[in-house]
Amino acid sequence: MPVLIGVVSVALAGGLLARDLYQQADSDAAIGPVSLPKTSSLAPGQQPGSPLVKLTPDAARHPHDETVRRLLQAYFDGINGRNYDRWKTAVTSERVRAKTEQQWLRDYRSTQDGNILVHRIETAHDDTMRVLLSFTSTQEMRDAPVNLPRRCIRWWLALPIALEQGHWKIDVVPPGTVPEMAAC
């Protein structure tokens, strides 16, 4: 009898999970295709493009769209302005502890980010969000990633967002997460 109860419980949980997943897929399909802004390639001297965070129509329909846009704007303004204190306002205390001001200034000493586009905002059941975005960075060759030593890089990544003391903050990226990147 205990085995039967366990099997029924697992089957019920699996069914509820599948229902949630299919309902999410159905509601996403009802939204329709995402139309991306029409952009042309910028000349090398115009890279990285506008430093303003923009949203696709899909991301703009999320209830936290403006909160996420402002949060990312503070994050990128901090990087572009070499302002560690500004950057700290946008990230969790765990991220701040992981990167001293001296390390941060060294890591971003020549970085300029622009052409920042939020493609999607996904909400999880545990008071977290995941933001799918792309942006362009320019930097001195010495400051480029070792695996892509270029002055101009196009990035695609997912940033975790978490509530910390009642405020949304960019959280630590899970270990092993590798963003996509390509030379401009």
126: number of CA atoms within 13 Å, CB side?
4
Q: CB–CB of 159/144 below 8 Å?
A: no
Residue 32 located in a structural domain = no
Q: Among 31-35, 59-63, 99-103, 126-130, where is mean pLDDT lowest?
A: 31-35
> For the whole model, what pTM was predicted?
0.77
Q: What is the CATH number of the domain that holds 150?
A: 3.10.450.100
Whether residue 152 lies inside any domain: the answer is yes
**Whether the Cβ atoms of residue 141 and residue 169 lie closer than 8 Å to each other:** no
Q: Report the number of distinct structural domains present in the chain.
A: 1
Which pLDDT tens digit goes with each residue over 53-107? 999 999 999 999 999 999 999 999 999 999 999 999 999 999 999 999 999 999 9
Residues 50, 116: Cα–Cα separation, whole Å: 8
Measured CA to CA, the distance from residue 72 to residue 114 in angstroms comes to 12
- Judge whether 3 lies within some domain: no
Q: Per residue in 133-179, pLDDT tens?
A: 999 999 999 999 999 999 999 999 999 999 999 999 999 998 888 89
Is position 130 within any domain?
yes
> Would you say residue 27 lies in a domain?
no
What's the domain range around 150? 44-183
